[in-house]
Protein backbone atom coordinates (compact mmCIF):
# COMPACT_ATOMS: atom_id res chain seq x y z
CA UNK A 1 0.00 0.00 0.00
CA UNK A 2 1.55 3.33 -1.11
CA UNK A 3 0.34 6.42 0.63
CA UNK A 4 1.05 10.15 0.68
CA UNK A 5 1.84 11.83 3.98
CA UNK A 6 1.30 15.59 3.81
CA UNK A 7 2.79 16.64 7.14
CA UNK A 8 6.07 16.77 9.01
CA UNK A 9 7.62 13.30 9.14
CA UNK A 10 9.16 12.97 12.62
CA UNK A 11 9.85 9.25 12.62
CA UNK A 12 12.69 7.64 10.71
CA UNK A 13 14.95 9.60 8.39
CA UNK A 14 18.17 9.08 6.45
CA UNK A 15 20.38 12.07 5.76
CA UNK A 16 23.58 12.64 3.80
CA UNK A 17 24.90 15.97 4.99
CA UNK A 18 22.02 18.43 4.47
CA UNK A 19 20.25 16.15 1.95
CA UNK A 20 17.49 13.81 3.09
CA UNK A 21 17.15 10.48 1.30
CA UNK A 22 13.52 9.51 0.74
CA UNK A 23 12.00 6.77 2.86
CA UNK A 24 10.25 4.54 0.32
CA UNK A 25 8.96 1.67 2.47
CA UNK A 26 8.48 0.61 6.10
CA UNK A 27 7.42 -2.88 7.22
CA UNK A 28 6.84 -3.66 10.91
CA UNK A 29 6.29 -7.35 11.68
CA UNK A 30 5.61 -8.51 15.25
CA UNK A 31 5.33 -12.05 16.61
CA UNK A 32 3.75 -12.31 20.09
CA UNK A 33 4.41 -15.53 21.99
CA UNK A 34 3.25 -15.56 25.61
CA UNK A 35 4.91 -12.68 27.46
CA UNK A 36 7.43 -11.92 24.71
CA UNK A 37 7.28 -10.25 21.30
CA UNK A 38 9.86 -10.24 18.50
CA UNK A 39 9.75 -7.23 16.18
CA UNK A 40 11.30 -7.24 12.70
CA UNK A 41 11.48 -3.76 11.19
CA UNK A 42 12.46 -3.37 7.54
CA UNK A 43 12.91 0.10 6.07
CA UNK A 44 14.00 0.98 2.55
CA UNK A 45 15.67 4.16 1.34
CA UNK A 46 17.06 5.21 -2.04
CA UNK A 47 20.35 7.05 -2.64
CA UNK A 48 19.29 9.64 -5.21
CA UNK A 49 22.66 11.40 -5.25
CA UNK A 50 25.19 11.26 -8.08
CA UNK A 51 28.17 10.47 -5.87
CA UNK A 52 29.11 8.12 -3.03
CA UNK A 53 28.18 9.46 0.38
CA UNK A 54 27.74 8.77 4.09
CA UNK A 55 24.17 8.53 5.37
CA UNK A 56 22.88 8.95 8.93
CA UNK A 57 19.75 6.93 9.73
CA UNK A 58 17.71 7.93 12.82
CA UNK A 59 14.75 5.85 14.01
CA UNK A 60 12.74 4.86 17.12
CA UNK A 61 12.44 1.40 18.69
CA UNK A 62 10.41 0.16 21.68
CA UNK A 63 11.64 1.36 25.08
CA UNK A 64 13.01 -1.64 26.98
CA UNK A 65 13.45 -3.75 23.85
CA UNK A 66 16.76 -5.49 23.12
CA UNK A 67 18.23 -5.21 19.63
CA UNK A 68 19.07 -8.77 18.59
CA UNK A 69 20.19 -8.28 15.00
CA UNK A 70 20.78 -5.49 12.48
CA UNK A 71 21.38 -6.18 8.80
CA UNK A 72 21.89 -3.60 6.07
CA UNK A 73 21.61 -4.50 2.39
CA UNK A 74 23.11 -2.17 -0.20
CA UNK A 75 22.85 -3.57 -3.71
CA UNK A 76 24.29 -7.08 -3.50
CA UNK A 77 26.26 -6.29 -0.32
CA UNK A 78 25.09 -7.44 3.12
CA UNK A 79 26.43 -5.82 6.30
CA UNK A 80 25.69 -7.56 9.62
CA UNK A 81 26.24 -5.54 12.80
CA UNK A 82 28.39 -6.70 15.73
CA UNK A 83 27.95 -5.40 19.29
CA UNK A 84 31.03 -3.57 20.62
CA UNK A 85 31.78 -0.72 23.01
CA UNK A 86 30.95 2.65 21.49
CA UNK A 87 34.50 3.97 21.28
CA UNK A 88 35.96 0.82 19.71
CA UNK A 89 33.08 0.58 17.25
CA UNK A 90 33.66 4.16 16.11
CA UNK A 91 37.38 3.50 15.56
CA UNK A 92 36.72 0.39 13.46
CA UNK A 93 34.08 2.23 11.44
CA UNK A 94 36.47 5.09 10.59
CA UNK A 95 39.22 2.61 9.68
CA UNK A 96 36.89 0.79 7.28
CA UNK A 97 35.93 4.05 5.55
CA UNK A 98 39.59 5.00 5.19
CA UNK A 99 40.11 1.72 3.28
CA UNK A 100 37.25 2.53 0.93
CA UNK A 101 34.97 -0.13 2.40
CA UNK A 102 31.23 0.22 2.98
CA UNK A 103 30.64 0.21 6.75
CA UNK A 104 27.77 0.65 9.20
CA UNK A 105 27.78 2.02 12.78
CA UNK A 106 24.66 1.75 14.96
CA UNK A 107 24.42 3.70 18.25
CA UNK A 108 21.71 4.11 20.88
CA UNK A 109 21.26 7.79 21.75
CA UNK A 110 18.30 7.48 24.14
CA UNK A 111 15.97 4.82 25.50
CA UNK A 112 13.99 4.71 22.25
CA UNK A 113 16.20 6.58 19.73
CA UNK A 114 18.80 4.81 17.60
CA UNK A 115 21.14 6.15 14.94
CA UNK A 116 22.89 4.21 12.20
CA UNK A 117 25.68 5.75 10.11
CA UNK A 118 26.58 4.15 6.77
CA UNK A 119 29.60 5.17 4.73
CA UNK A 120 30.55 4.72 1.06
CA UNK A 121 27.06 4.22 -0.38
CA UNK A 122 27.23 4.33 -4.18
CA UNK A 123 24.98 6.50 -6.40
CA UNK A 124 21.54 5.11 -7.21
CA UNK A 125 21.74 2.28 -4.70
CA UNK A 126 18.77 1.13 -2.63
CA UNK A 127 19.42 0.81 1.11
CA UNK A 128 17.45 -1.73 3.13
CA UNK A 129 17.87 -1.91 6.92
CA UNK A 130 16.40 -4.81 8.88
CA UNK A 131 16.36 -4.60 12.68
CA UNK A 132 15.24 -7.44 14.97
CA UNK A 133 14.15 -6.44 18.49
CA UNK A 134 13.18 -8.70 21.41
CA UNK A 135 10.57 -7.01 23.58
CA UNK A 136 8.12 -7.95 26.34
CA UNK A 137 4.35 -7.79 26.57
CA UNK A 138 3.33 -5.26 29.24
CA UNK A 139 0.64 -6.37 31.71
CA UNK A 140 -1.69 -4.48 34.02
CA UNK A 141 -3.97 -6.86 35.88
CA UNK A 142 -5.84 -8.90 33.28
CA UNK A 143 -4.90 -6.61 30.38
CA UNK A 144 -1.87 -7.12 28.11
CA UNK A 145 -0.38 -4.53 25.76
CA UNK A 146 2.29 -4.18 23.08
CA UNK A 147 3.47 -0.82 21.77
CA UNK A 148 5.69 0.08 18.82
CA UNK A 149 6.78 3.70 18.17
CA UNK A 150 7.00 5.05 14.63
CA UNK A 151 8.01 8.64 15.35
CA UNK A 152 10.57 10.61 17.33
CA UNK A 153 8.61 13.19 19.27
CA UNK A 154 9.87 16.78 19.43
CA UNK A 155 11.54 17.48 22.76
CA UNK A 156 13.55 20.15 24.52
CA UNK A 157 17.28 19.43 24.21
CA UNK A 158 19.75 21.60 26.19
CA UNK A 159 22.61 23.12 24.16
CA UNK A 160 25.13 21.17 26.25
CA UNK A 161 23.73 17.79 25.17
CA UNK A 162 26.47 16.06 23.10
CA UNK A 163 24.08 14.09 20.83
CA UNK A 164 21.38 16.74 20.44
CA UNK A 165 21.11 16.18 16.68
CA UNK A 166 20.19 12.53 17.10
CA UNK A 167 17.71 13.20 19.90
CA UNK A 168 15.86 15.81 17.85
CA UNK A 169 16.55 15.07 14.15
CA UNK A 170 15.46 17.41 11.33
CA UNK A 171 11.84 17.18 10.20
CA UNK A 172 10.80 16.49 6.62
CA UNK A 173 8.15 18.85 5.22
CA UNK A 174 5.69 18.18 2.39
CA UNK A 175 4.40 15.12 0.55
CA UNK A 176 6.15 11.81 1.18
CA UNK A 177 5.15 8.62 -0.67
CA UNK A 178 5.64 5.67 1.67
CA UNK A 179 4.78 1.99 1.27
CA UNK A 180 3.84 0.61 4.67
CA UNK A 181 2.74 -2.65 6.26
CA UNK A 182 2.20 -3.46 9.93
CA UNK A 183 1.43 -7.08 10.77
CA UNK A 184 1.35 -8.55 14.30
CA UNK A 185 0.55 -12.23 14.85
CA UNK A 186 -0.08 -14.23 18.02
CA UNK A 187 1.16 -17.75 18.75
CA UNK A 188 -2.19 -18.47 20.44
CA UNK A 189 -5.60 -16.80 19.98
CA UNK A 190 -6.23 -13.79 22.24
CA UNK A 191 -9.49 -12.35 23.57
CA UNK A 192 -10.94 -8.87 23.01
CA UNK A 193 -8.09 -7.55 20.84
CA UNK A 194 -8.31 -3.78 20.21
CA UNK A 195 -6.10 -1.18 18.53
CA UNK A 196 -6.54 2.23 20.17
CA UNK A 197 -4.28 4.29 17.94
CA UNK A 198 -5.01 3.25 14.34
CA UNK A 199 -8.51 3.27 12.87
CA UNK A 200 -9.27 0.60 10.29
CA UNK A 201 -6.84 -2.01 11.65
CA UNK A 202 -7.84 -5.52 10.55
CA UNK A 203 -8.14 -7.53 13.78
CA UNK A 204 -8.69 -11.23 14.46
CA UNK A 205 -7.97 -13.45 17.50
CA UNK A 206 -4.57 -14.36 16.00
CA UNK A 207 -3.44 -11.25 14.11
CA UNK A 208 -3.57 -7.51 13.52
CA UNK A 209 -2.87 -6.01 10.10
CA UNK A 210 -2.55 -2.36 9.10
CA UNK A 211 -1.96 -1.37 5.47
CA UNK A 212 -3.05 2.27 5.47
CA UNK A 213 -0.85 3.75 8.16
CA UNK A 214 0.82 7.15 8.39
CA UNK A 215 3.99 7.16 10.47
CA UNK A 216 2.72 9.73 12.95
CA UNK A 217 1.74 7.76 16.09
CA UNK A 218 2.54 4.71 18.19
CA UNK A 219 1.01 1.35 17.34
CA UNK A 220 -0.76 0.08 20.48
CA UNK A 221 -2.59 -3.26 20.80
CA UNK A 222 -4.46 -4.40 23.94
CA UNK A 223 -6.15 -7.68 24.83
CA UNK A 224 -7.47 -9.61 27.82
CA UNK A 225 -5.36 -12.30 29.51
CA UNK A 226 -5.94 -14.77 32.32
CA UNK A 227 -4.11 -14.60 35.64
CA UNK A 228 -0.92 -16.65 35.71
CA UNK A 229 1.63 -17.42 38.39
CA UNK A 230 4.63 -18.49 36.36
CA UNK A 231 5.81 -18.80 32.77
CA UNK A 232 9.01 -19.32 30.79
CA UNK A 233 9.91 -18.82 27.13
CA UNK A 234 12.93 -19.49 24.92
CA UNK A 235 13.54 -17.16 21.94
CA UNK A 236 16.39 -18.20 19.60
CA UNK A 237 18.63 -15.54 18.07
CA UNK A 238 17.77 -14.51 14.53
CA UNK A 239 21.08 -15.68 13.07
CA UNK A 240 21.89 -18.65 15.32
CA UNK A 241 19.09 -20.89 16.69
CA UNK A 242 21.59 -22.62 19.01
CA UNK A 243 21.72 -19.54 21.27
CA UNK A 244 19.03 -17.12 22.37
CA UNK A 245 17.17 -15.51 25.25
CA UNK A 246 15.45 -17.21 28.18
CA UNK A 247 12.64 -15.19 29.74
CA UNK A 248 11.11 -16.21 33.07
CA UNK A 249 8.02 -14.43 34.41
CA UNK A 250 6.73 -14.90 37.96
CA UNK A 251 3.48 -13.08 38.71
CA UNK A 252 2.23 -12.92 42.30
CA UNK A 253 -1.01 -11.76 43.81
CA UNK A 254 -0.81 -7.98 44.25
CA UNK A 255 -2.66 -8.24 47.57
CA UNK A 256 -1.14 -10.22 50.44
CA UNK A 257 -3.24 -13.16 51.59
CA UNK A 258 -2.02 -12.89 55.19
CA UNK A 259 -1.02 -10.13 57.55
CA UNK A 260 2.56 -11.42 57.78
CA UNK A 261 5.04 -9.50 55.67
CA UNK A 262 7.55 -11.59 53.77
CA UNK A 263 11.19 -10.64 53.57
CA UNK A 264 12.16 -9.32 50.14
CA UNK A 265 15.37 -9.90 48.18
CA UNK A 266 16.53 -7.57 45.40
CA UNK A 267 19.31 -8.27 42.89
CA UNK A 268 20.75 -5.27 41.00
CA UNK A 269 22.91 -5.49 37.86
CA UNK A 270 24.72 -2.20 37.12
CA UNK A 271 26.43 -1.45 33.79
CA UNK A 272 29.89 0.14 34.23
CA UNK A 273 31.19 -0.46 30.69
CA UNK A 274 32.79 2.18 28.51
CA UNK A 275 29.47 2.91 26.81
CA UNK A 276 28.22 4.46 30.07
CA UNK A 277 29.18 8.12 30.12
CA UNK A 278 29.45 10.17 33.31
CA UNK A 279 25.79 11.23 33.21
CA UNK A 280 24.55 7.69 32.45
CA UNK A 281 26.69 6.24 35.24
CA UNK A 282 25.37 8.72 37.79
CA UNK A 283 21.80 8.01 36.66
CA UNK A 284 22.33 4.27 37.04
CA UNK A 285 23.72 4.66 40.55
CA UNK A 286 20.82 6.94 41.49
CA UNK A 287 18.28 4.34 40.32
CA UNK A 288 20.09 1.63 42.31
CA UNK A 289 20.14 3.78 45.46
CA UNK A 290 16.43 4.59 45.06
CA UNK A 291 15.66 0.88 44.71
CA UNK A 292 17.55 0.08 47.92
CA UNK A 293 15.81 2.97 49.71
CA UNK A 294 12.47 1.33 48.90
CA UNK A 295 13.49 -1.74 50.92
CA UNK A 296 13.26 -2.22 54.67
CA UNK A 297 16.38 -2.87 56.75
CA UNK A 298 15.41 -6.53 57.09
CA UNK A 299 15.20 -6.98 53.32
CA UNK A 300 18.13 -8.30 51.32
CA UNK A 301 20.06 -6.85 48.40
CA UNK A 302 22.85 -8.05 46.11
CA UNK A 303 24.63 -5.72 43.66
CA UNK A 304 26.61 -6.88 40.62
CA UNK A 305 28.51 -4.63 38.20
CA UNK A 306 29.68 -5.55 34.74
CA UNK A 307 31.82 -4.47 31.80
CA UNK A 308 33.85 -7.26 30.18
CA UNK A 309 33.46 -9.20 33.45
CA UNK A 310 30.78 -9.43 36.15
CA UNK A 311 31.81 -8.62 39.73
CA UNK A 312 29.93 -8.22 43.00
CA UNK A 313 30.36 -5.10 45.10
CA UNK A 314 32.76 -5.69 47.99
CA UNK A 315 29.87 -5.19 50.43
CA UNK A 316 28.01 -8.04 48.69
CA UNK A 317 31.03 -10.24 48.10
CA UNK A 318 29.56 -13.19 49.99
CA UNK A 319 26.01 -12.97 48.66
CA UNK A 320 22.87 -11.11 49.73
CA UNK A 321 23.21 -8.58 52.56
CA UNK A 322 20.77 -6.43 54.50
CA UNK A 323 19.59 -3.31 52.67
CA UNK A 324 21.47 -0.78 54.78
CA UNK A 325 23.34 2.46 54.22
CA UNK A 326 26.60 0.49 53.96
CA UNK A 327 25.45 -1.09 50.71
CA UNK A 328 24.34 2.27 49.29
CA UNK A 329 27.66 3.86 50.27
CA UNK A 330 29.51 1.16 48.32
CA UNK A 331 27.87 2.38 45.13
For residue 287, is pLDDT > 70? Answer: yes
**Judgement on whether residues 110 and 155 belong to the same structural domain of the protein:** yes
If one counts the domains in the chain, the total is 2
What pLDDT, in 10s, does the model give residues 82-137?
888 889 999 999 999 899 888 888 888 777 888 888 888 788 888 888 999 999 99
Which residues neighbour 2 within 8 Å (Cβ) at sequence distance 6 or greater? 177, 178, 179
**Judgement on whether residues 36 and 176 belong to the same structural domain of the protein:** yes
Q: Which of 209, 224, 239 is the last residue of a domain?
A: 224
Of the candidates 25, 22, 21, the residue with the CA atom closest to the CA atom of residue 3: 25
Q: Which of 201, 224, 247 is the last residue of a domain?
A: 224
**Judgement on whether residues 219 and 266 belong to the same structural domain of the protein:** no
Residue 177 sits in a domain whose CATH number is 2.60.40
The rounded distance, in Å, linking the Cα atoms of 173 and 55 is 19
**Judgement on whether residues 31 and 175 belong to the same structural domain of the protein:** yes
Domain enclosing residue 312, as ranges: 256-330
Say what the pTM is. 0.65
Q: Is residue 98 part of a domain?
A: yes
Q: What is the DSSP letter of 314?
A: G
**Judgement on whether residues 157 and 269 belong to the same structural domain of the protein:** no
> Between residues 120 and 309, which one has the greater pLDDT?
309
Residue 262 sits in a domain whose CATH number is 3.40.50.410
Amino acid sequence: MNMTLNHDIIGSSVRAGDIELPLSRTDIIGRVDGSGVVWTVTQEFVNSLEEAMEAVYTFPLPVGGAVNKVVMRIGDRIIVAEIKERGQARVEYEEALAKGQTAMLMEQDAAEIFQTTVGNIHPGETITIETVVHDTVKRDGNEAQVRFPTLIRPRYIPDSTPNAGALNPPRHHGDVHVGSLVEITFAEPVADLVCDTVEGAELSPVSARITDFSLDRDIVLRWEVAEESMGAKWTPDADNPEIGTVEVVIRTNSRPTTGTRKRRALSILLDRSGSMGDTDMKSGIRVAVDAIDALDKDDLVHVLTFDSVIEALEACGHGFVNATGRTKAAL
